[in-house]
Structure 1
Amino acid sequence: MRYRQYPEPYYEGLPPFNETGSPFNVVPIHEYPELMQQCCDLINSEWPRSDTARMRSLETSCDTLPVCLILTTDGLRQVIAHCKLSPIPGKKNACFCESVVVHQNHRGQGFGRLIMKCAEDYCRLMLDLDSVYLSTTDQEGFYEKIGYEYCAPVSMYGPRNCELRSLESGKKKYLRKKL
């Protein structure tokens, strides 16, 4: 998948990616299985879980949904960011962006914006989706800056005949972006 730089202000300051000579690439993890353990370690550094469970989740990545995208550098040898895009039952033109994480040594350098932009492009260009949903407990300011707006809670488990109060309680905020 080829990406290009965009002239819009949102993209100013992003490092070049997926271009000849660029040190950065965003690729689906299933195309680079040799990077799965490194990706597993990155995600577990933020949200600890057994390697077995995490690896099984990464191994579900495919060309449709779910797909795990990774931001790499050093000639596709170092994983510096990850995000997983999952289907939302009942919303066939949308997906849920989960487990977005940037390696601690690379935070504050625009890589969060970069992986989100690439994920949005992948959704629009490769999956023909028109919306991305996500939830966060502490990064809503970041997502608002890149165009996400608050929305009603979204269930990853499909439509329900009743409201799920557990989706509305707590600190979790739900956001959506139209692509």
Structure 2
Amino acid sequence: MADCIFHRIFWSFPRANYRKSKIYAESVDLRTKQYEELATEVSQYLFAAELVTEFIEHDWTTKTAMTNLLNNYNESIKTLRKKEFVFQSWVRKYWGKNEASQFDSFMKSVREFDSAGHSLNDEYEAVNITGSKPKIDRKRAEEALKIMHPAIDNMRKQSGALMAAIKE
């Protein structure tokens, strides 16, 4: 009888530990996967935003130059914004409230930059859709850049802080 109790106790511990280890390993695996997806989307968006800024800065604003650039930017912002609440929940679940707050700060900086870019929508339309202008008006571009530069600098700072906060 004592032998039977000993075996039950002995064999129950490894199984419980195995289950806990398996759950922990799956959680770590998900966390790594979600970190990589978030980091990829953040990087893609930052790159697209930097390219838009660079093209406007250098007056490379013809229809030929801007069409693919704006399409890539729009795709990256749509992806990031569509997954915003998913990413926010991942950060909160796998890293914590402070890190979720850092994610919110990053997304605020994204919206600030995007808003600055939208100040040129009528110029983009005149160049890319109606064809009424060969390039974006230089004066309007310079006005937008005064907002875009600080916004993109803030975005770089916020994204760096976010990635540092949730690193593995």
- Same fold by TM-score, threshold 0.5 exceeded? no
Query: How does the TM-score come out when normalised to structure 2?
Result: 0.24
Structure having the higher Rg:
2
Which structure's residues are more often helix, by fraction?
2
Which structure's residues are more often strand, by fraction?
1
Query: How does the TM-score come out when normalised to structure 1?
Result: 0.23
Higher relative contact order (CA 8 A, sep 6+): 2
